Chain A
Amino acid sequence: MVSVAEMPESTSQSVINQPAPMPERQVERGMIEIEHLDFKYGAHQVLHDVSLNIPARAVTAFIGPSGCGKTTLLRCLNRMNDLIDIAKISGGSIRIEGVDINAPGLDVVDLRRRVGMVFQKSNPFPKSIYDNVAYGLRIAGVTKRTLIDEAVEKSLRSAALWEEVKDRLHVSGYGLSGGQQQRLCIARALAVEPEIVLMDEPCSALDPIATAKVEELIRQLKQEYTIVIVTHNMQQAGRCSDYTGFFYLGRLIEFDATAKIFSNPGQRQTEEYITGRFG
């Protein structure tokens, strides 16, 4: 896929005197556009007409009470909902870097490689730390030992785990603490060099110290990755996100810069939720 943003400026000048072309959408690496998305589990509609643009290389947080559809939306972004038989997108579209990810014939395996995911319950594989991180590379057919070694170290460093595990790369990932396991899962997701990282309540099972580490990590990762994080923790959204979307009963109530949402929300429901008056 050619990124339009990278095209030289001169190309747009050559069309200056011609009839106005279709307004060209700026396609940036890692950007996500969601338009009028409807989503159903069987007959039960869980997302209603959700539209938002998730900017690239920033942290976007989805907040809202349980059952509001924020995790469902997150799992739409790498088509994880395909695993659920009755789940179905009934309207609207999701485009990542301008490409409709639900188009027939789209390579879901490639999509998932480019859109990584960290789950609510940390799920390291019952393999060594090294093998956990190398898993995605080996799946992708990388066999060269030096390449894998490098990627494992780089990913573990990115996930701020390298110093803690560099002497025991070949012991089971299950031996790590909860916070380390979650950072291992982040390292594993980073190893395949995705453009977007989805995080589904990554800190819900972690203590405050581990949470602080993961949050610090999220702030660093946005230099290179588009990050979408679902969280129940309002302070967390406030601390580490740039944009926040508030969901309620399957609808996107408000989406704006985090500072704006938390200081001056446009909707009464948002204000009531973030001040803890309901939800």
Chain B
Amino acid sequence: MISAPANARRVRLLQGGVFWLFRLATYFILACATYIFLDIGIKGSRTVFTSKPPFINLPFLTEPPQTLYVFDYEGKKETLSDRQFRAWKLEHPGVEVEATSIAYSAGGIWPCIVGTALLVIGSMILALGIGISSAIYLSEYSRNGPLIRLVRVAILNLAGVPSIVFGLFGFGLFVIFFGWNVSLIAGWFTLGLMVLPAIITASEESLRAVPQGLREGSLALGASKWQTIRKNVLPYALPGILTSSILGIARVAGETAPIMFTAAYAMKDEMPWQVAKFTDFIFQGVMALPYHIYVVSSKIPQNEYTEGVQYGGAFVFLFLVMLIALTSIILRERSRSRLSW
């Protein structure tokens, strides 16, 4: 029988201390996340929800941003959007008021939602197309040589490039050199390149997770390599690839730096579909949620009226990203259960 070591008490104390250190670190993260969500949630709901039916501030979700006019009239403080202000002036002909105008603080964020959705869809199609293809090449076709190692290092490095550098790169290559100007397509390529490393890495992992036995079984039946990949590897890797693209979507939707030089306008009056022909559609700049939040938070004079659109925008943004994530998760679960994997 071994007697208890002399330092048993010290070991036990240390054990307890380390345990609490880790536990506190975890709680700290939880506290930060809760604070952020509550802050945005509470301040944002003041803008997004109303006290009267339908309880949702529909104009905020369906109208473009407008200038807010604040003025005193007959002892009352009026806060009117651009449109309302013009109507008010028609109702009060001859009345001159000293109105303070605050940019973007009235109206809504509808064009930004649309713009962000367009940017996400286009860049994800691009990134998934290129990413899955190269992941298939890397995991199924390539032999491990110096060139492939170089490619892998390049992908890892690409993942570490700051997003503002992607923005500058996209500006230099797509906007200036290709002459695409500030446009959706320049944004698609810039954002697509930015998430490419994450998609390639995750897709490759999903492909490698498919048991080798499925490949061998298929090849042994006289299937070609491509038939094997298409029928017996890719379908089983797809749920994993979709999961990985969830993070990609959130990142594409959230990044401001890559689009501020390549795709985003601070203000645009027409909606993206108000174009004459298709080429105009892809070569137009759009408003985008993260960029709009950036603009209303740092590019216009701050006062008590700007907070509404800032937090409202952030709240809607957060909600949309969560919605996308949820959709992807549901999609993944459904494809998983269908495979009875």
Contact = CB atoms under 8 A, between A and B. Distances in A.
Contacts of B231: 135, 139
Which of under 10, 10 to 19, 20 to 34, or 35 or more describes the interface residues of A? 20 to 34
A110 interface: yes
A192 B340 contact: no
Interface stretch (A6-14, A118-126, A203-211, A214-222): A118-126
A151 interface: no
A250 to B, nearest CB: 23
A139 B143 contact: no
A140 interface: yes
Contact of B232 (A85, A121, A125, A174): A125
Contacts of B143: 85
B236 interface: yes
Interface string B299-338: 0000000000000000000000000000000000000000
Contact of A116 (B213, B221, B223, B236): B221
A192 B236 CA distance: 24
Which of B216, B220, B339 has the largest count of A CB atoms less than 10 A from its CB?
B220
A80 B222 contact: no
B236 to A, nearest CB: 6
B221 A135 contact: yes
A123 B232 CA distance: 12
A126 B232 CA distance: 9
A126 B218 contact: no
B5 interface: no
A29 interface: no
B162 interface: no
B222 A109 contact: yes
A189 B217 CA distance: 9
Contacts of A192: 221-222
A113 interface: yes
A112 B227 CA distance: 14
A139 B223 contact: yes
B125 interface: no
Contacts of A140: 222
A136 B222 contact: yes
A188 B219 CA distance: 12
Nearest to A118: B220
Contacts of B232: 125, 135
A125 B220 contact: no
A188 B221 CA distance: 8
Contact of B340 (A116, A123, A126): A126
A125 B223 CA distance: 14
B219 A185 contact: no
Nearest to A116: B220
Interface string A120-142: 01011110000000011001100
Contact of B217 (A85, A114, A123, A172): A123
B144 A113 contact: no
22 contacts: A83-B215, A83-B219, A85-B144, A112-B220, A112-B221, A112-B223, A113-B221, A116-B221, A119-B213, A123-B213, A123-B217, A125-B218, A125-B232, A126-B339, A135-B223, A135-B232, A139-B218, A139-B221, A139-B227, A139-B231, A174-B340, A188-B221
Given A116-B221, A136-B222, A136-B223, 20 more contacts: A80-B216, A85-B143, A85-B144, A112-B222, A112-B223, A113-B222, A117-B216, A123-B211, A123-B216, A124-B217, A125-B214, A125-B217, A126-B340, A126-B341, A135-B218, A135-B221, A172-B340, A185-B217, A188-B221, A192-B221
Listed from nearest, the 6 A-B pairs whose CB atoms lie closest are A113-B222, A123-B213, A136-B221, A117-B220, A172-B340, A139-B223
